């Protein structure tokens, strides 16, 4: 690494503390290349991230901002893990302490017009070879022992795997990583269509404690325009099934997805979906489109993005319409302009007050700088 890149990397480590809040953070960063395009708002995917999956109970290699940071040493430690990664790998921010275990590569759907996370050819969807995954679990057990408390099954929708394969992995985690208390993964509503409630309960009993499901919107027109391949009803059904099985649901909604024209419907119907399903966790991200949204507009030519004021107004409509009993809410993903955290409904009035203050006096609000935003 030359000196210039090293200096840039150091700058980015300062930023990554914030980026570490993101809902779907590329695992962690040892080096970031091409940062300029991201820093200048050049796109959500302007940075290339080297990854590590060391749980925090191992030495914390990441988010150091020191110029003395030894990347070679970090890389060597990371290479020590008996797990094969195909970059980029995404995981939710709340899985920062987890061992990231790929059981698939890519996303089994991979057709949402806003999402390019798994579009590179080398991220084409496939199930990992079972023997390879089982060997990784066994070797992780030998090398990391009781230091692993949480495991995140990657990649984009690990629940696409047949129940039998998932049960095999969960059992192996139990056997070799006996200190693990929580296993989680991303999940699409369609992943559950062929899985019975009984099967989901068995997965829960074997340790699958939580899934992250990108509902994105509760509005059927928006969902069709972005090619999510789901509807209000199919998403509701999946969330209810997970809830009935005792698996905790963390739902993602995309602020701005409906653009100017469908903003109100998107906000109101998304709130209706969340109210109907009462998930344990809810997070909002702001849609960020690469290539200035060219790919997105292929399916939705007259889509007009919301500006910062429109995004905040949509958030105000969404929060106002939420009627939740006990849902942990986070709008702390790096794509958000305004960071919001609380429990709904208890904190609804405070959260609304924060959004309204940012709408009326944006210059006084703690808004994230544009260059700090990313996916």
* Nearest residue to ligand SAM on Cβ basis: 214
3-state secondary structure at position 72: helix
Among residues 115, 173, 177, 290, the one that binds ligand SF4 under rule CB under 6 A: 115
Q: What residue ranges in 25-162 does DSSP mark as E strands?
A: 25-26, 32-33, 48-49, 90-91, 99-102, 104-105, 126-127, 150-154
- Binds 90: which of ligand SF4, ligand SAM, none (CB < 5-8 Å by kind): ligand SAM
Among residues 16, 24, 39, 344, the one that binds ligand SAM under rule CB under 6 A: 24
CA–CA dist 173, 237 (Å, integer): 29
Residue window 304-343: x/- pattern of binding to ligand SAM, with contact defined by CB under 6 A: -------------------------------x--------
35 in contact with ligand SF4 (CB under 6 A): no
144 in contact with ligand SAM (CB under 6 A): no
Among residues 90, 232, 318, 337, the one that binds ligand SAM under rule CB under 6 A: 90
156 in contact with ligand SF4 (CB under 6 A): yes
118 in contact with ligand SF4 (CB under 6 A): yes
- Complex with ligand SF4: residue 47 or 188, whichever CB lies closer: 188
Among residues 31, 95, 105, 216, the one that binds ligand SAM under rule CB under 6 A: 216
CA–CA dist 41, 354 (Å, integer): 25
**Peptide bond between residue 10 and the one before it cis (omega within 30 degrees of 0):** no
- Complex with ligand SF4: residue 36 or 111, whichever CB lies closer: 111
Q: How far is the CB of 51 from ligand SF4 (least distance, A)?
A: 17
Q: How far is the CB of 105 from ligand SF4 (least distance, A)?
A: 12
Task: Kindly tell me the burial class for residue 142, based on how many C-beta atoms sit within 10 Å of its own C-beta (0-12, 13-18, 19 or more).
Answer: exposed
Contacts of 196 (CB under 8 A, 6+ apart): none
Residue 127 has φ and ψ, to the nearest 5°, of -80, 140
Please count the other Cβ atoms lying within 10 Å of the Cβ belonging to residue 272: 17
Torsion sign across C-alpha atoms 154, 160, 163, 168: negative
Interface residue list for ligand SF4 (CB under 6 A): 107, 109-110, 112, 115, 117-118, 156, 188, 214
């Amino acid at each position: 690494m030359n000196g210039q890149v090293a200096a840039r990397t150091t700058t980015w480590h300062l930023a990554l503390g914030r980026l570490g809040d993101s809902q779907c953070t590329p695992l962690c960063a040892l080096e970031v290349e091409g940062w300029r395009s991201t820093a200048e708002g050049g796109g959500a995917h302007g940075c290339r991230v080297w990854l590590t999956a060391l749980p925090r109970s191992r030495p914390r290699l990441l988010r150091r901002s020191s110029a003395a940071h030894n990347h070679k040493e970090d890389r060597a430690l990371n290479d020590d893990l008996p797990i094969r990664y195909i970059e980029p790998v995404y995981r939710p921010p709340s899985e920062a302490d987890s061992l990231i275990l790929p059981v698939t590569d890519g996303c089994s759907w991979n057709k949402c017009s806003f999402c390019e996370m798994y579009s590179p050819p080398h991220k084409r969807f496939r199930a990992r070879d079972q023997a390879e995954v089982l060997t990784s679990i066994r070797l992780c057990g030998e090398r990391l022992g009781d230091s692993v408390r949480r495991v995140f099954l990657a990649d984009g929708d690990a629940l696409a795997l047949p129940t039998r394969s998932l049960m095999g992995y969960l059992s192996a985690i139990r056997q070799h990583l006996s200190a693990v208390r929580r296993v989680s993964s991303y999940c699409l509503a369609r992943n559950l269509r062929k899985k019975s409630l009984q099967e989901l309960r068995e997965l829960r009993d074997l340790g699958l404690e939580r899934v992250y499901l990108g509902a994105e919107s509760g509005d059927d027109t928006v969902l069709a325009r972005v090619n999510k391949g789901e509807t209000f009803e199919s998403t509701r059904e999946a969330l209810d099934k997970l809830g009935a099985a005792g698996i905790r649901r963390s739902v993602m909604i995309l602020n701005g997805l409906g653009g100017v024209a469908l903003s109100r419907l998107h906000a109101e119907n998304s709130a209706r979906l969340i109210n109907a399903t009462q998930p344990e966790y809810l997070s909002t991200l702001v849609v960020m489109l690469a290539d200035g949204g060219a790919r997105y507009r292929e399916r939705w030519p007259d889509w007009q993005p919301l500006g910062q004021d429109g995004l905040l107004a949509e958030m105000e409509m969404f929060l106002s319409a939420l009627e939740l009993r006990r849902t942990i809410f986070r709008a702390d993903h790096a794509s958000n302009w305004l960071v919001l955290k609380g429990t709904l409904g208890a904190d609804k009035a405070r959260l609304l007050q924060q959004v309204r203050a940012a709408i009326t006096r944006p210059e006084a609000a703690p808004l994230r700088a544009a260059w700090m935003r990313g996916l």
